[in-house]
Amino acid sequence: MPESIGFIGLGIMGQPMALNLIKAGHQLAVYNRTAAKAAALQAAGARVVSSPADAARDANVVMMIVSDSAAVEEVVAGKGGILESLRAGALVIDSSTISPTVSRKMACLVAGKGASWLDAPVTGSKHGAEKGELTFMMGGDRAAFDRALPILQVLGKKHIYCGSHGLGLSAKLAQNTIQATLLEVFCEGFVLATKAGVRPETMLEIIQSSLARAALTDFKAPFIFKGDFTPYFPLKLMHKDLELAAEAGYAQGVPMPALAAVKEVYMAAKAQGKGDLDYAAIVTFLEELAGVKVRT
Amino acid sequence: MPESIGFIGLGIMGQPMALNLIKAGHQLAVYNRTAAKAAALQAAGARVVSSPADAARDANVVMMIVSDSAAVEEVVAGKGGILESLRAGALVIDSSTISPTVSRKMACLVAGKGASWLDAPVTGSKHGAEKGELTFMMGGDRAAFDRALPILQVLGKKHIYCGSHGLGLSAKLAQNTIQATLLEVFCEGFVLATKAGVRPETMLEIIQSSLARAALTDFKAPFIFKGDFTPYFPLKLMHKDLELAAEAGYAQGVPMPALAAVKEVYMAAKAQGKGDLDYAAIVTFLEELAGVKVRT
Amino acid sequence: MPESIGFIGLGIMGQPMALNLIKAGHQLAVYNRTAAKAAALQAAGARVVSSPADAARDANVVMMIVSDSAAVEEVVAGKGGILESLRAGALVIDSSTISPTVSRKMACLVAGKGASWLDAPVTGSKHGAEKGELTFMMGGDRAAFDRALPILQVLGKKHIYCGSHGLGLSAKLAQNTIQATLLEVFCEGFVLATKAGVRPETMLEIIQSSLARAALTDFKAPFIFKGDFTPYFPLKLMHKDLELAAEAGYAQGVPMPALAAVKEVYMAAKAQGKGDLDYAAIVTFLEELAGVKVRT
Amino acid sequence: MPESIGFIGLGIMGQPMALNLIKAGHQLAVYNRTAAKAAALQAAGARVVSSPADAARDANVVMMIVSDSAAVEEVVAGKGGILESLRAGALVIDSSTISPTVSRKMACLVAGKGASWLDAPVTGSKHGAEKGELTFMMGGDRAAFDRALPILQVLGKKHIYCGSHGLGLSAKLAQNTIQATLLEVFCEGFVLATKAGVRPETMLEIIQSSLARAALTDFKAPFIFKGDFTPYFPLKLMHKDLELAAEAGYAQGVPMPALAAVKEVYMAAKAQGKGDLDYAAIVTFLEELAGVKVRT
Burial class (CB in 10 A: 0-12, 13-18, 19+), B47: middle
Q: C197: which chain D residues are within 8 Å (Cβ-Cβ)?
A: 163-164, 167, 170
Query: What is the enclosing helix (H) or strand (E) of A160?
Result: strand A156-163
Closest-CA distance of chain A to residue B116, Å:
20
Average pLDDT over every residue of C120-148: 95
Which residues, in sequence order, are bridge partners of residue D161?
D138
Q: Catalogue the E-assigned strands of C10-108.
A: 27-31, 47-48, 61-64, 91-94
Reply yes or no on whether the pLDDT at C1 is more than 80.
no
The class of domain C170-290 in CATH terms is mainly alpha
The 10s digit of each residue's pLDDT in A16-64 is 999 999 999 999 999 999 888 899 999 999 999 999 999 999 999 999 9
DSSP string, B177-223: HHHHHHHHHHHHHHHHHHHHT--HHHHHHHHHTSTT-BHHHHHHHHH
- Say what the pLDDT of residue D43 is: 95
Mutation choice for C interface testing from B265, B274, B289 by most C CBs within 10 A: B289
Flag whether residue B290 sits within 8 Å of chain C, measured between CB atoms.
Answer: yes
Identify whether the C-beta of residue A69 lies closer than 8 Å to the C-beta of residue A18.
no
Subunits next to C (3 or more Cβ pairs <8 Å) are A, B, D
How far, in Å, CA of A121 to CA of C131, rounded? Answer: 52
The 10s digit of each residue's pLDDT in C223-266 is 999 999 999 899 999 999 999 999 999 999 999 999 999 999 99
Q: C262: which chain D residues are within 8 Å (Cβ-Cβ)?
A: 185, 257-258, 261
Is A226 one of the catalytic residues? no
The 10s digit of each residue's pLDDT in D76-123 is 999 999 999 999 999 999 999 999 999 999 999 999 999 999 999 999
- Say what the pLDDT of residue C282 is: 98
DSSP string, A161-203: EEESTTHHHHHHHHHHHHHHHHHHHHHHHHHHHHHHT--HHHH
Identify whether the C-beta of residue B68 lies closer than 8 Å to the C-beta of residue B98.
yes
**Mean pLDDT, rounded, of chain B:** 96
The class of domain C4-164 in CATH terms is alpha beta
Flag whether residue D271 sits within 8 Å of chain A, measured between CB atoms.
Answer: yes
How many inter-chain contacts (B to D, CB under 8 Å) are there?
44
Flag whether residue D175 sits within 8 Å of chain C, measured between CB atoms.
Answer: yes
Contact B271 D264 (CB under 8 A): no
Nearest CA in chain D to B269: D255
pTM for this predicted structure: 0.94
Q: B158: which chain A residues are within 8 Å (Cβ-Cβ)?
A: 209
Q: Which of A135, A198, A258 sits opposite B171 (nearest CB)?
A: A198
Identify whether the C-beta of residue D54 lies closer than 8 Å to the C-beta of residue D85.
yes
Closest-CA distance of chain C to residue A276, Å:
15
- Say what the pLDDT of residue B72 is: 98
Contact D271 A257 (CB under 8 A): no
Contact C253 A263 (CB under 8 A): no
Mutation choice for C interface testing from A241, A267, A272, A274 by most C CBs within 10 A: A267
The residues of D carrying an active-site annotation are 172
Subunits next to B (3 or more Cβ pairs <8 Å) are A, C, D
Flag whether residue D263 sits within 8 Å of chain B, measured between CB atoms.
Answer: yes
Q: D252: which chain C residues are within 8 Å (Cβ-Cβ)?
A: 192, 195-196, 290
Closest-CA distance of chain A to residue B93, Å:
19
- Say what the pLDDT of residue A296 is: 80
The confidence band for B1, taking pLDDT boundaries of 50, 70 and 90, is confident
- Say what the pLDDT of residue D59 is: 97
The amino acid occupying position B9 is G
Closest-CA distance of chain B to residue C241, Å:
20
Flag whether residue C127 sits within 8 Å of chain D, measured between CB atoms.
Answer: no
Reply yes or no on whether the pLDDT at B177 is more than 90.
yes
The 10s digit of each residue's pLDDT in B218-232 is 999 999 999 999 998
Burial class (CB in 10 A: 0-12, 13-18, 19+), D150: exposed
> What ipTM score was computed for the predicted complex, to two decimals?
0.95
How many inter-chain contacts (A to C, CB under 8 Å) are there?
44
How far, in Å, are D189, D242, D288 from residue D285 at the CA level?
Answer: 14, 17, 5
Mutation choice for D interface testing from A270, A289, A292, A293 by most D CBs within 10 A: A289
Contact A265 B257 (CB under 8 A): yes
Contact A290 D272 (CB under 8 A): no
Q: Which of C197, C202, C261 sits opposite D257 (nearest CB)?
A: C261
Q: B265: which chain D residues are within 8 Å (Cβ-Cβ)?
A: 255
Low-confidence residues in chain D, pLDDT < 50: none
The 10s digit of each residue's pLDDT in D213-225 is 999 999 999 999 9
Average pLDDT over every residue of A268-281: 96
Q: Which of B166, B179, B205 sits opposite A212 (nearest CB)?
A: B179
Three-state secondary-structure class, residue C97: coil
Closest-CA distance of chain B to residue A16, Å:
20
The catalytically annotated residue of A113, A172, A236, A270 is: A172
How far, in Å, CA of D245 to CA of D258, rounded? Answer: 12
How far, in Å, CA of C262 to CA of A255, rounded? Answer: 11
Contact D253 B247 (CB under 8 A): no
**Mean pLDDT, rounded, of chain C:** 96
Three-state secondary-structure class, residue C47: strand
Contact D253 B270 (CB under 8 A): yes
The catalytically annotated residue of C113, C172, C220, C263 is: C172
Q: A264: which chain C residues are within 8 Å (Cβ-Cβ)?
A: 255-257, 260
The 10s digit of each residue's pLDDT in B207-216 is 999 999 999 9
DSSP string, B15-65: HHHHHHHHHTT-EEEEE-SSGGGGHHHHHTTPEE-SSHHHHHHT-SEEEE-
Q: Which of A249, A254, A260 sits opposite C261 (nearest CB)?
A: A260
Q: Greater confidence, D37 or B163?
A: B163
Flag whether residue B271 sits within 8 Å of chain D, measured between CB atoms.
Answer: yes
Q: C173: which chain D residues are within 8 Å (Cβ-Cβ)?
A: 192
Phi-psi region of C261 (alpha: psi -120 to 50; beta: other; left: phi over 0): alpha
Q: C203: which chain D residues are within 8 Å (Cβ-Cβ)?
A: 171, 174-175
The confidence band for A125, taking pLDDT boundaries of 50, 70 and 90, is confident
- Say what the pLDDT of residue D125 is: 82
- Say what the pLDDT of residue B125 is: 82
Contact D203 C174 (CB under 8 A): yes
Query: What is the enclosing helix (H) or strand (E) of C75?
Result: helix C69-77
Contact D207 C175 (CB under 8 A): yes
Q: Which of A257, A271, A290 sits opposite D289 (nearest CB)?
A: A271
Give start-end residues of each CATH 1.10.1040.10 domain in chain D.
Answer: 170-290
Contact B272 C289 (CB under 8 A): yes
Flag whether residue B215 sits within 8 Å of chain A, measured between CB atoms.
Answer: yes
CA C77 remoteness from chain centre? 22
How far, in Å, CA of C205 to CA of B84, rounded? Answer: 51
Nearest CA in chain B to D270: B253
Flag whether residue D258 sits within 8 Å of chain A, measured between CB atoms.
Answer: no
Give start-end residues of each CATH 3.40.50.720 domain in chain D.
Answer: 4-164
Flag whether residue B264 sits within 8 Å of chain D, measured between CB atoms.
Answer: yes
Flag whether residue D283 sits within 8 Å of chain C, measured between CB atoms.
Answer: no
Flag whether residue C70 sits within 8 Å of chain A, measured between CB atoms.
Answer: no
